[in-house]
C-alpha cells in the first residue's frame, strides 16, 4: 500500500495510507487541493490526482445551513458566515473585511457633511458582496476540503 506525504501551508505531514487520507478529508484536516507526494513520484501534485474519485461520503456539513448562512444578508450585509461554515476561511475573512470596511465608511459618512449625498456609494460593495454570496449559495456543493455537503 502506497504511503502518501502531504504538504499544507508549507508544512509536511505523513506518510499516510489512502484510507487515512480519506478520513482526514472527511474531517476537513486535509483538502484534495493540498499537494501530495508518493514514493517514486518526481514532483508534488494536488492530492486529488493521487487518490482519484472520492467515495460518495458526504461532509458533516449540511447544504441547507450553508445556503441559509449565505442568504442571511437579506437582513443586512454579507458577513461571510457561510464561508467559515464550509471551512473556506480565506474567503470568509475577505468578506468580513469588506463588511467591516463598509461599516466604518458608513459611520464616517453619516457623521460628515451631507451624509445622504454619499450613502449610495456604500451600496455598491455591499450589493456586490451579497450577490457573490448568493452565487456561492447556488454553485458551491462541497466544503473547503472538497467533500460534498449532505
Q: What's the pLDDT tens digit per position in 52-85?
A: 765 555 556 777 787 787 777 654 456 777 877 8
Q: 142: which strand partners? A: 148
Average pLDDT of the segment spanning 39-61: 75
Round to whole Å and give the CA distance between 99 and 104: 9
Q: What's the pLDDT tens digit per position in 87-105?
A: 788 888 887 887 778 777 7
Q: Kindly list the distances between the CA atom of residue 89 and the CA atoms of 4, 80, 111, 136, in Å, as whole numbers in the listed order.
A: 26, 9, 33, 14
Q: Where are the alpha helices (DSSP H) in the chain?
A: 18-27, 47-51, 63-71, 81-85, 89-110, 115-139
What's the predicted TM-score (pTM) here? 0.53
Round to whole Å and give the CA distance between 84 and 92: 5
Phi, psi of 6 (to 5 degrees): -125, 140
Q: Is the pLDDT of residue 147 over 60?
A: yes
Which domains does the chain possess? 4-51 (3.30.1490), 63-139 (no CATH)
Whether residue 32 contacts residue 146, with contact meaning beta carbons closer than 8 Å, is answered with: yes
Amino acid at each position: 500500500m502506497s504511503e502518501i506525504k502531504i504538504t499544507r501551508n508549507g508544512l509536511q505531514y505523513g506518510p499516510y495510507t489512502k484510507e487515512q487520507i480519506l478520513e482526514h478529508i472527511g474531517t476537513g484536516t486535509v483538502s484534495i487541493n493540498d499537494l501530495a507526494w508518493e514514493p517514486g513520484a518526481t514532483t508534488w501534485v494536488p492530492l486529488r490526482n493521487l487518490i482519484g474519485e472520492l467515495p460518495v461520503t458526504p461532509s458533516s456539513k449540511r447544504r441547507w445551513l450553508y445556503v441559509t448562512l449565505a442568504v442571511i444578508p437579506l437582513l443586512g450585509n454579507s458577513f461571510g458566515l457561510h464561508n467559515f461554515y464550509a471551512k473556506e476561511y480565506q474567503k470568509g475573512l475577505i468578506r468580513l473585511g469588506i463588511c467591516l470596511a463598509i461599516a466604518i465608511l458608513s459611520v464616517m459618512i453619516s457623521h460628515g457633511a451631507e451624509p445622504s449625498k454619499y450613502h449610495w456609494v456604500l451600496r455598491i460593495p455591499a450589493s456586490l458582496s451579497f450577490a457573490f454570496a448568493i452565487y456561492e449559495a447556488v454553485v458551491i456543493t462541497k466544503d473547503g476540503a472538497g467533500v460534498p455537503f449532505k
